[in-house]
Chain A
Amino acid sequence: MGLMDQVELPQPVKYVFNWGRKYSLWCFNFGLACCAIEFIAASTSRHDFIRHGVIPFAHGPRQADLLVVSGTLTDKMAPAVKRLYEEMAEPKYVISFGSCANCGGPYWDSYSVTKGVDQIIPVDVYVPGCPPRPEALLDGIIALQHRIQNESLKDRIAGRRLDPVTLGADAPLALEGSSS
């Protein structure tokens, strides 16, 4: 990556490059609680996020581009999530799926629950809900794809990340700037 982290790619190249990346998201599901069921529903035929280019059940974190943390993250589990996230190759993205992963959710005062997965790893998209419907995950994935399409790989490799998107709280996708 000697060149790409120093030089901005020309716009047409960047467009094609990002277009290819955003529709090939190998997804590593970190299912921790009931939200994982919604994630699985999103991956099956009715909601079918494969049509959005998300490939579920990567063989391991090393083959994955996207980490979806769905469910209640406990302090005991947190080191495992951090380790598996660190095993993923850059560029890597994180969707925090559900209230528990966002902020602890109903377990905000628990002695054992981590108050959000963003305490240990950087998050790109927050999907609120308890649990969110599969459509919400599809929304989150589309928001992430917008982000990937408009991303500067130079910035990304240099470790400069954009601010996370919170579905429902941030501007709707239509106002966020079109992807082309």
Chain B
Amino acid sequence: MTDVLARRDRALTPEETEELLRDRLGDGVQRSVLEFGVFTVWIAQEAWVAAARTCRDEPLLAYDMFDNAFGVDAREEGFDYVAILYSTSTGNRIVLRTRCEGGREAPVCPSMVEVYRGADWMERETWDMFGIDFPGHPSVSPRILTVENFEGWPLRKDFHLASRAAKPWPGVAEPKEMDDEGNIIEREKRIGDAPGPYELDKVMGEQAKLANPLPEPPAVTEEGEEVAATAPVADRASDSGQVLASDQERGLEEEQKLRHEADVELSGGEAEREPTVDEPASDVADQGESAIPAAEAAKKADDRRKAQAEARAKKAAERAAADEPGDDPAGPDDPEGDA
């Protein structure tokens, strides 16, 4: 049927398409619009079928698929009929649109069925819904979507719904939340009531930060002396999900094992100490085997246990002191927080 010479990378631009159509159809092309990525060409009624034939048969256009068609109620100006064509070779889509003759009383549009067989039922549906007649169509009746004896054209703007005549539409365009007396409930905007997805993302990010605070800075005692050089590394790693270098992993596991033992020891003496956020996951401590000889390990473990028990006790005291003085200034109740 169509010599498909055009390919996707050589598809015509909308401007070139319009130029080509103007060349073939002359005054048949009235105007064109390119909006929202949709290229619409307004075609004069007389050139309607010729335009479809040109779109199908012109090798550079090759609109070989009849995609969709429908009517549009243009109020007092009558009705429009819109056909959407697609080219499977170029990937282009074009919208042909025409103003039907006959105004609101007897709208008429030439049928495209001789060019595209697929237009058959589309035109029947358009006749069914808008009452647009299609001369050249085999037969638009009987009705295809509504019952055969249906009266009127339901998608016309002036079509009256019988149920609405008996009972007005009970809804409202912008429903409000109301109490039992019918008073509108106004609610203050809070975090989470952000207006759009982008703002919502930001707010959710802030909330996530609040819910998961960053680990505390390296454990430095009040005297300024660093307690355990490896402890902060373990802290950060166990909390932040940081990816560990494989050579560090083994030492870290050993470290955590030691700390876990220290915790067990501590919890005996200090039963009231609250569980802290950055406690190492105890299951990690079970993984891996100790590569260090037993005697050396025991000695190291003793030293570290002492140092870490001291550090943790101090940290717990600091934390308890820091928690007491009231709200966090950037807390979730802050009304400026949701801007």
A110 interfacial contact with B, CB 8 Å: yes
B161 touches A112 (CB 8 A): no
Question: Residue on A with the closest CB to B152?
Answer: A111
**A146: chain B residues within 8 A (beta carbon):** none
A111 touches B164 (CB 8 A): no
Question: Residue on A with the closest CB to B160?
Answer: A111
**B145: chain A residues within 8 A (beta carbon):** 76, 112
Q: How far is the CA of A75 from the CA of B152 in the complex (A)?
A: 15
Question: Residue on B with the closest CB to A108?
Answer: B163
A115 interfacial contact with B, CB 8 Å: yes
Q: How far is the CA of A111 from the CA of B151 in the complex (A)?
A: 10
Contact A76-B146, Cβ < 8 Å, known A111-B154, A112-B154: yes
A75 touches B146 (CB 8 A): yes
B198 interfacial contact with A, CB 8 Å: no
- Which residues A96-125 have CB closer than 8 A to chain B? 108-112, 115
A111 touches B147 (CB 8 A): no
Q: How far is the CA of A110 from the CA of B152 in the complex (A)?
A: 13
Q: How far is the CA of A110 from the CA of B147 in the complex (A)?
A: 13
Question: Residue on B with the closest CB to A109?
Answer: B163
**B36: chain A residues within 8 A (beta carbon):** none
**A111: chain B residues within 8 A (beta carbon):** 146, 150, 152, 154, 159, 161-162
**B146: chain A residues within 8 A (beta carbon):** 75-76, 111-112
Could you tell me how many residues of chain B have their Cβ less than 8 Å away from some Cβ of chain A? 12
Question: Residue on A with the closest CB to B147?
Answer: A75
Name the distance in Å between B56's Cβ and chain A's nearest Cβ: 33
Identify which of B147, B161, B163, B169 contacts A76 (C-beta below 8 A): B147
**A115: chain B residues within 8 A (beta carbon):** 163
A109 touches B147 (CB 8 A): no
A109 touches B154 (CB 8 A): no
Name the distance in Å between B154's Cβ and chain A's nearest Cβ: 4
**A109: chain B residues within 8 A (beta carbon):** 161, 163-164, 169
Question: Residue on B with the closest CB to A76?
Answer: B147
Q: How far is the CA of A95 from the CA of B169 in the complex (A)?
A: 28
Most buried by B among A76, A111, A112: A111
Encoded as 1 (CB less than 8 Å from any A CB) or 0, chain B from 160 to 184 comes to: 0111100001000000000000000
**A75: chain B residues within 8 A (beta carbon):** 146-147, 150
Most buried by A among B150, B161, B163, B169: B163
Question: Residue on B with the closest CB to A111?
Answer: B154
Question: Residue on A with the closest CB to B153?
Answer: A111
- Which residues B53-80 have CB closer than 8 A to chain A? none
**A108: chain B residues within 8 A (beta carbon):** 163
**B161: chain A residues within 8 A (beta carbon):** 109-111
Q: How far is the CA of A75 from the CA of B164 in the complex (A)?
A: 17
Q: How far is the CA of A180 from the CA of B147 in the complex (A)?
A: 47
Encoded as 1 (CB less than 8 Å from any B CB) or 0, chain A from 30 to 54 comes to: 0000000000000000000000000
**B150: chain A residues within 8 A (beta carbon):** 75, 111
Residues of B whose CB lies within 8 Å of any CB of A are: 145-147, 150, 152, 154, 159, 161-164, 169
- 18 more contacts with CB within 8 A, not counting A76-B145, A112-B146, are A75-B147, A75-B150, A76-B147, A108-B163, A109-B161, A109-B163, A109-B169, A110-B161, A110-B163, A111-B150, A111-B152, A111-B154, A111-B159, A111-B161, A111-B162, A112-B145, A112-B154, A115-B163
Residues of A whose CB lies within 8 Å of any CB of B are: 75-76, 108-112, 115
* 21 sampled A-B residue pairs with Cβ under 8 A: A75-B146, A75-B147, A75-B150, A76-B146, A76-B147, A108-B163, A109-B161, A109-B163, A109-B164, A109-B169, A110-B161, A110-B163, A111-B146, A111-B150, A111-B152, A111-B154, A111-B159, A111-B161, A112-B145, A112-B146, A115-B163
* Across the A-B interface, the 10 shortest Cβ-Cβ residue pairs: A109-B163, A111-B154, A75-B147, A109-B161, A109-B164, A76-B147, A112-B146, A108-B163, A111-B161, A109-B169
